[in-house]
Amino acid sequence: MTDANPYSPDAPIPARLRPTMEALGRVARDLARRIARGPLEGGLDAHVGGNADGDAQKALDVIADRAFAEALRGTGVRWYASEEQDDVTELDPQGTLALAIDPLDGSSNIATNVSIGTIFSLREAEEGPEATFLAPGRAQIAAGYVIYGPQCMMLVSFGAGVQSYVLDPETARFTLLDTTRRIPAESSEFAINASNYRHWSKPVRAYIDDCLAGAEGPRDKNFNMRWIASLVAETHRILMRGGIFLYPQDDRPGYAQGRLRMVYECAPIAMLVEQAGGRATDGNTAILDLQAGSLHARTPFVFGSAVKVDHVAAYHDLPEHEVSALFGHRGLFRV
């Protein structure tokens, strides 16, 4: 039988949060096994409907959501907010914690064997769900993700640095690797979906143009572009190697406020990134200082090595006439 404690004995988890974290770890451990079995588990990537925002749901999205909600009962969690559900569920009226979760991030990649993950955050439970989850991200008391990849890993912060764990397949435990994960300050990588170039604002296009200009351009450096289309995988690469991730707002219908969810995705990732010495903004303002307008509100998202994120903000701070001149002079993809 698998040990009920999914962590190595040296895991420095606050005692008050341990029941919740152990429940999250047990479900993540089971999901890692199912994902590793792939087609042997049946149609995990089968389309089964849509979530609260109309995004396609895969069978594994629903399986993961139900598993986490059930496992968290009796662990001190009062409010359970899931990207896969329209409304918040009250698990324990006497609970003092609230958990927001994206049960399975990147589920469109299930069939392609690309890394997917789980994103979660914990807050103090207020009297109502909106008062709890719509407070700025700095109200989070813990945040983390699990990445289901060649290794299953968990990175989590309780507000004092970032802890990293790897799931040992021999012991079925998340084994502590370190408690001081830091984002490298320098990197030659950036991540953005360049197919949307024509829809971006001029500051974003000018920033990317300068990266693409390489050693001959104003940055005096050659860059490599990455795009996995899995937020957890993008985050994990940046925490390991540095760089920057951009998912800006653009002029397509439904993208005016960006596409990633503040409560379930951006705020938890932003806490991890800041705790690892990086920055996370909407292009200008720190994500953790922003307040979501609704449970499923979206936001532009830029995060990574601090100096790179600050550089993007500098482009947004330029007056419009300067940005237009900059873009007109350097735009590489103009048509």
106 annotated binding-site participant: yes
104 annotated binding-site participant: yes
Residue 215's alpha-carbon distances to 129, 180, 326, in angstroms, are 50, 33, 18
Residue 335's alpha-carbon distances to 103, 208, 328, 329, in angstroms, are 41, 16, 11, 13
108 annotated binding-site participant: yes
83 annotated binding-site participant: yes
51 annotated binding-site participant: no
193 annotated binding-site participant: yes
Q: Take residue 107 and report the two structure tokens written for it.
A: 């589920």
Residue 151's alpha-carbon distances to 36, 42, 166, 292, in angstroms, are 10, 22, 7, 33
User: Residue 281 is inside which H or E element, if any?
Assistant: strand 279-281
107 annotated binding-site participant: yes
Q: How far apart are CA 220 and CA 226, in angstroms?
A: 19
Q: Enumerate long-range contacts of 2-5, CB under 8 Å, 24 or more apart.
A: 2/29, 2/172, 3/171, 3/172, 3/173, 5/173
159 annotated binding-site participant: no
38 annotated binding-site participant: no
Binding-site annotation: residue ranges for Mg(2+)? 83, 102, 104-105, 265
Binding residues, as ranges, are 83, 102, 104-108, 193, 265
Residues annotated within the binding site for substrate are 105-108, 193
